[in-house]
Structure 1
Amino acid sequence: MNLDNINTTYSTAIFAGGCFWCMVSPFDILDGIIEVKSGYMGGHLENPTYKDVKSQTSGHFEVIKITYDPKVISYEKLLQAFWRQINPMDDEGQFQDRGSSYRAAIFYTNEEQKTVAEESKKELNESGRFPDAVVTRILPASKFYDAEEFHQDFYKKSPVEYKKDRSISGRDEFIQQYWGEDYYSIYEE
């Protein structure tokens, strides 16, 4: 999609949820999503590559940057979808992917997003859904670096490899255990 003439009313949400391959498709299917890009954020290295980030030495998280129409979908709803994709109790990575680049985080782009994200985290913590505290970080957005083209829309371009990787990750089992049928409610609204 060409975003050169992007409508200035579009907004951006940035989430880290472990391997970015598994984070794109759950947002792609929501109404109001314009684009989901895989990339890197939060590190100290300029122009990091996948190899740099995977090495756990650049300080970056694997993230997705979501361009969305706030007239169609709210940031609150994006947060609801985000929480359903991750293990918010794990600060050492996500599922089979371990290390700092695979930690979960919400990167806010303004104070309103920060406030909404903090409230959402508080509500999830108080919900009793999880046996341990929600430790997902809420951090200010920094420079976003696009991941290599190979990683963009990976679930569409390499569906067999994507499904195999996801099936052994433990993500879907975790989602089923902690969300069950509630998982789908975000997609039915």
Structure 2
Amino acid sequence: MEEKAIFAGGCFWCMVKPFDEQPGIKKVESGYTGGFTENPTYEEVCSEATGHYEAVEITYDPDVFPYERLLDIYWMNIDPTDIGGQFYDRGQSYQPAIFYRTEEQRRLAEESKEKLNKSGRFPVPITVKILPAKPFYPAEEYHQHYYKKNPAHYEAYHQGSGRAAFIRNHWGGKKIER
């Protein structure tokens, strides 16, 4: 059995690696979703004129890797309190959002957001939007699995953007309580 999940968490380069190569994860693809332009290009999305978010679409086996675990990884790799973008990247195309495909995904996303809000881990409210999925358009090939194709540049970006430090400071090896 296969299902798909879509998460926007800022630069899609940094959203592939945390999900990639986990048991039950069949594919992680960078792309664009949530907007109104069909088959947008990277340049069009960056112009903020398409309504799209940079996102990842994850194809997974829910019997091996349940949606709740995907949500845990998602929350632990973004700043869930920053609605203006993520880390160095600002603007609508870099805003965090969970795009649900089913009513069950919506329910689980809402529950996990509420639990994180109540946990006290963050001193301000969780602002991540939970939206119905729209068509997902794969990004250009040079963006796919960027962390493998350009490891030095990826690591410099991951560190320099502030994402790595944020994750260390807020999670530091801790897990989300179930």
Instruction: Give the unaligned 5+ runs of structure 2.
Output: none
| CA displacement 1:118-160 (0-9 Å, x = unmatched) | 0000000000000100000000000000000000010001111
Q: Out of 128, 143, 148, which is 1:151 matched to?
A: 143
Partner of 2:2: 10
| CA displacement 1:67-124 (0-9 Å, x = unmatched) | 0011101000100000000000000000000000000000000100000000000000
- Establish whether residue 25 from structure 1 lines up as the match of residue 17 from structure 2: yes
- Establish whether residue 118 from structure 1 lines up as the match of residue 110 from structure 2: yes
| CA displacement 1:45-73 (0-9 Å, x = unmatched) | 11100000111111100000000011101
- Establish whether residue 104 from structure 1 lines up as the match of residue 96 from structure 2: yes
Q: Out of 8, 32, 39, which is 2:31 matched to?
A: 39
Q: 1 CA distance for matches of 2:76 and 2:10?
A: 13
Instruction: Give the unaligned 5+ runs of structure 1.
Output: 1-8
The one-letter code matched in structure 1 to 2:111 is: E
- Establish whether residue 137 from structure 1 lines up as the match of residue 133 from structure 2: no
Runs of 4+ residues over 2 Å off in structure 1: none
Q: 1 CA distance for matches of 2:164 and 2:111?
A: 26
Deviation at 1:165, TM superposition (A): 1.1
Partner of 1:64: 56
Deviation at 1:28, TM superposition (A): 0.5
TM-score by length of 2: 0.97
Identity %: 55
- Establish whether residue 74 from structure 1 lines up as the match of residue 66 from structure 2: yes
Richer in helix (by share) = 1
TM-score by length of 1: 0.91
- Establish whether residue 94 from structure 1 lines up as the match of residue 86 from structure 2: yes
Deviation at 1:167, TM superposition (A): 1.4
